[in-house]
Amino acid sequence: MSTGPQPLRKLVVVGVGLIGGSFALALKEAGRAGRVVGVGRGRANLDAAKRLGVIDVLRTLDGPWTAELADADLVLVAAPVAQYPALFAAMAPHLGARTVVTDAGSTKQDVIAAARAQLGMALPRFVPGHPIAGTEHSGATAAFPTLFRDRNVVLTPLSETDRDAVATVASLWQVCGANVRELDAAAHDRIFAAVSHLPHLLAFALVDALATRPDAEDLFRFAASGFRDFTRIAASSPEMWRDISMANRTALLAEVDAFRAQLDRVAAMIAAGDGTALEAVFANARLARRAWEAERNAAANPAPADGPRES
Amino acid sequence: MSTGPQPLRKLVVVGVGLIGGSFALALKEAGRAGRVVGVGRGRANLDAAKRLGVIDVLRTLDGPWTAELADADLVLVAAPVAQYPALFAAMAPHLGARTVVTDAGSTKQDVIAAARAQLGMALPRFVPGHPIAGTEHSGATAAFPTLFRDRNVVLTPLSETDRDAVATVASLWQVCGANVRELDAAAHDRIFAAVSHLPHLLAFALVDALATRPDAEDLFRFAASGFRDFTRIAASSPEMWRDISMANRTALLAEVDAFRAQLDRVAAMIAAGDGTALEAVFANARLARRAWEAERNAAANPAPADGPRES
C-alpha cells in the first residue's frame, strides 16, 4: 500500500485562483504541503488567499517573486495561459535543480511550446497538466479543498519529461482526490475543443447576442431553468476563455466548422418539415446524453458489493 | 383578500405527463380538484398515474374518452402539440356549455390555429397557456405538486376569449404557485424560440454530432460539469421537441440564422487573433448572465422587509 508522496516543504502557486487555491488547500488539508507561497498580479486576491489560509506567504508579480523558486519542491502555474511565456521566461534562471514545475492550463500544445522556448534546462522537470474541474466562479475566495475529488486530471508529458517528476505530480493530484490520466497533447487539445471550448464559445455567443437585442428584457424575463443550465458557463472568466480560445484556435475553429455543418443539417430538416429525421437526431442525442450521465454517476457512486439486500 | 377559484368538481387532463400530472397534483393538494380524469395514449403511464394518486379515473384515447367532457369544469390539454388538431376535433362536439379548455403547449400560434379550425362554438372558452416549467424527465411518474411554484405561466388569450375563462385558468395556475402573465401569441413564440427552442436545438445537435464520431468514447470520457449543464436539455423528450421545432419553425429558423451570424462573427475574431473583441463578447455575456441570475434569485427569495438586523 502506497503511503503517497513526500510532503512538499515548499509549494509555490503562481495564480492563486479557484484552481491554484484549491490545489493548495487540498494538499494542506492532507498534510502534504508545508509552506505555500502564493504569487499573483492582484494584491487584494493574494491578501484574501492569505486571510483564508490558502497560502502562507504572498508575492506579487511586480516584486522579486522568483527568489522563492530555488528551494521550492513544486511550482504550480495556474494563471491564464497567455501569461505562460513571460512567466516561464522569468522562472527559468531561478528554478532549483530539483524543483518540479507543473501547470493547470486548459490547453496543452501552446503551453508545451512556451515551455520548450523558455524553460531551457528545466524542461525535463516540467509536467504539463490540466485538472478537469472548475466552476463559473473565480479567484482565491472561490477555492475549496474538495474541488478535485473524483475529477480527471490529464497530464501530457513530453518524451523527455522526467518520469519521477510525472510520478510526483500524479501522486499529488491523487492526494487531492483526482483520477490522473495521460494523453498526448494534440489529442488533449482536440478532445477539449469539442467537449469544453466549443460549448463555452456557444454559450458566450448566445448570451451576448440575446443581451444585445432591443427585446433583451422580454427575452430574459421568460428564460427558465433550461436556459439557466445551458448558459451557466457563459458566466465564466472572459480573460481565461479568451486565452483558451486563442491558444487552441486551430482545434476550436475546426469544431466550430463541424458544429456549423451539423446546425445546417438540422435546420434543413426543420425547413423541409422532416420531423422523422429531426426526431432521430434528438433521440440519438438523448440516448447518448443519458448513457453518459448514467456512467458518470456510476463512477462517482460505485454500486455496493454483492450481499444480502432488503426486498 | 381573494379566496381563490371555485374548486373544480371535475378536471380532465389530456396527456398525464410531467406537466399535466403536476397540475393535477398541485390542485389536489390545494383542495381545488375533485375528480380528476386522466386521458392518454399509454395504458402503463395512466396506470402509474392512478397508482400514484395523480388521477382518479383513467381513459385511453382509443376508447370513448370524450364522454368525460360534458360535465367537466376544466380540460387541460398537455399532450405533444402535433396531436392538438385531432384532439380538438374529437373534443369539440362533446364539450359542456360551461367547460373551460386550456393547454400547456410550448408553442402558441399553431395551437391557436388548431383551436380556431376545430373548436367551433367552444373557442371563446379556450385559454391558450404555457407553463414555463419542466425537467428533462417525462411521464406521470416524474410529476410533483411543486413543479410550478415561482414559475411563469404565460397565457395568450385571443380577442374573442371569454375573460371569465381567462380569470379561472389564471387563478388555478396561481393556486399551483405560478406567476401568470399575458402575452400576444406571436410575441410568445418569438421569445421562446430564442430562449428555449434554440438552446434545445443546439444542445441536441451538439450531443448527436459528438456521439456519432469515431472518437466519441474519448470525448465523453473527458467531458465534465460544464458539458453536463450545457447538454442537460439534450436528454429531453425527442417527440415533444420535434413537435415544438416543427410547430414554431418560422421563428426557430430565424433564431438559427441569427445565431449562425453571431457564431460566424465570433469565429472570425478567433481566426483573426482579435482577443480584445472576443473578450468583449465574453465579458458582455458574463455580465448579462450574472445580472439575470441575480434577478432570478432575488425574485425567488425576496429580501426580508426592513427591520433590525444583527451586525
List pLDDT tens digits, range A216-262: 999 999 999 899 999 999 999 999 899 999 999 999 999 999 999 99
Residue B1: per-residue pLDDT: 40
Interface subset of A 248-267, CB within 8 angstroms of B: 249, 252-253, 256, 258-260, 262-263, 266-267
> Based on the number of CB atoms within 10 Å of its own CB, is B160 exposed (0-12), middle (13-18) or buried (19 or more)?
exposed
For residues B220 and B234, is the Cβ–Cβ distance under 8 A? no
Residue A147 has pLDDT above 90, yes or no: yes
> Based on the number of CB atoms within 10 Å of its own CB, is B301 exposed (0-12), middle (13-18) or buried (19 or more)?
exposed
Integer Cα distance of B170 and B45 in angstroms = 28
Helices (H) and strands (E) in chain B, counts: 12, 9
Confidence band of A1 (pLDDT split at 50, 70, 90): very low
Q: Which domains does chain A have, with CATH numbers?
A: 8-183 (3.40.50.720), 188-299 (1.10.3660.10)
Q: Do B210 and A223 touch (CB under 8 A)?
A: no
Integer Cα distance of B207 and B234 in angstroms = 7
What average pLDDT does chain B have? Answer: 94
Interface subset of B 146-165, CB within 8 angstroms of A: 151-152, 154
Question: B215 in contact with A at a CB cutoff of 8 Å?
Answer: yes
Residue carrying C-alpha cell 399551483: B176
**Residue-by-residue DSSP string for chain A:** ----PPPEEEEEEES-SHHHHHHHHHHHHTT-EEEEEEEES-HHHHHHHHHTTS-SEEEETTSSGGGGSTT-SEEEE-S-GGGHHHHHHHHGGG--TT-EEEE--S--HHHHHHHHHH-GGGGGGEE-EEE----S--SGGG--TTTTTT-EEEE---TTS-HHHHHHHHHHHHHTTPEEEE--HHHHHHHHIIIIIHHHHHHHHHHHHHHTSTTHHHHHHH--HHHHHHHGGGGS-HHHHHHHHHHTHHHHHHHHHHHHHHHHHHHHHHHTT-HHHHHHHHHHHHHHHHHHHHHHHHHHSPPPPS-----
DSSP 8-state code for residue B275: H
Integer Cα distance of B291 and B297 in angstroms = 10
Q: Which residues of A93-124 are buried (b: 16+ CB within 10 A; e: fewer)?
A: ebbeeebbbbbbbbbbbbbbebbeebbeebbb
Backbone angles phi, psi at B42, to 5 degrees: -100, 120
Q: Which three cell numbers stand for residue A85?
A: 511565456
Q: Do A210 and B288 touch (CB under 8 A)?
A: yes
Integer Cα distance of B295 and A223 in angstroms = 12
Mean pLDDT of A256-272: 98
Q: Which of B195, B246, B255 to mutate to test the interface with A (most CBs of A within 10 A)?
A: B195
H or E element that contains B58: strand B57-60
**Could you give the count of Cα atoms lying within 13 Å of A109 in the half-sphere of its Cβ?**
18
Q: Which of B191, B224, B232 sits opposite A222 (nearest CB)?
A: B191
Residue A304: per-residue pLDDT: 52
Q: Which three cell numbers stand for residue A273?
A: 418539415
Q: Which three cell numbers stand for residue A209?
A: 447576442
DSSP 8-state code for residue B263: H
Question: A283 in contact with B at a CB cutoff of 8 Å?
Answer: yes
Q: Which of B151, B233, B245 sits opposite A229 (nearest CB)?
A: B233
Q: Do B204 and A229 touch (CB under 8 A)?
A: no
Residue B310 has pLDDT above 50, yes or no: no
% of chain A beyond a pLDDT of 90: 89
Q: Which residues in chain A touch residue B146, judged by CB atoms under 8 angstroms apart?
A: none
Residue B134: per-residue pLDDT: 76
Residue B54: per-residue pLDDT: 98
The amino acid present at B111, given as its one-letter code, is: V
Q: Which residues in chain B touch residue A154, judged by CB atoms under 8 angstroms apart?
A: 222
What average pLDDT does chain A have? Answer: 94
Question: A309 in contact with B at a CB cutoff of 8 Å?
Answer: no
Residue A311 has pLDDT above 60, yes or no: no
Q: Which residues in chain A touch residue B190, judged by CB atoms under 8 angstroms apart?
A: 215
Chains A, B: CB contacts within 8 A come to 280
Provide the shortest C-alpha distance from residue A216 to chain B (in Å): 9
List pLDDT tens digits, range B233-272: 999 999 989 999 999 999 999 999 999 999 999 999 999 9
Residue B138: per-residue pLDDT: 82
Interface subset of A 37-76, CB within 8 angstroms of B: none
Residue A48 has pLDDT above 60, yes or no: yes
Confidence band of A149 (pLDDT split at 50, 70, 90): very high
Q: Which residues in chain A touch residue B288, judged by CB atoms under 8 angstroms apart?
A: 207-208, 210-211, 216, 220
Strand B33-40 relative to strand A152-155, pairing: unpaired
Provide the shortest C-alpha distance from residue B73 to chain A (in Å): 29
Residue A42 has pLDDT above 60, yes or no: yes
Q: Where are the beta strands (DSSP E) in B82-135?
A: 100-103, 126-127, 129-131
Integer Cα distance of B41 and B58 in angstroms = 11
List pLDDT tens digits, range B170-223: 999 999 999 999 999 999 999 999 999 999 999 999 999 999 999 999 999 999
> Dihedral (C-alpha) A115, A121, A122, A126: value to the nearest 10 degrees?
50
Q: Which of B152, B227, B296 sits opposite A199 (nearest CB)?
A: B227
List pLDDT tens digits, range A284-294: 999 999 999 99
Residue carrying C-alpha cell 468514447: B217
For residues A201 and B266, is the Cβ–Cβ distance under 8 A? yes
Integer Cα distance of A36 and A50 in angstroms = 10
Confidence band of A308 (pLDDT split at 50, 70, 90): very low
Residue B3: per-residue pLDDT: 58
The pTM assigned to this predicted structure is 0.88
Beta carbons within 8 Å of B210's beta carbon, 6+ residues apart: A194, A195, A288, B216, B219, B220
Residue B136: per-residue pLDDT: 65
Confidence band of B32 (pLDDT split at 50, 70, 90): very high
Nearest-CA residue of chain A relative to B151?
A: A224
Residue B308: per-residue pLDDT: 41
Provide the shortest C-alpha distance from residue A44 to chain B (in Å): 21
List pLDDT tens digits, range A151-209: 999 999 999 999 999 999 999 999 999 999 999 999 999 999 999 999 999 999 999 99
Residue B151: per-residue pLDDT: 93
Q: Which of B219, B236, B289 sits opposite A234 (nearest CB)?
A: B289
Q: Which three cell numbers stand for residue B34?
A: 375533485
Give the orientation angle of helix A249-271 with respect to helix A275-300, to 10 degrees.
Answer: 140
List pLDDT tens digits, range A113-136: 999 999 999 999 999 999 998 766
Residue A306 has pLDDT above 80, yes or no: no
Interface subset of A 79-108, CB within 8 angstroms of B: 82
Nearest-CA residue of chain A relative to B82?
A: A275
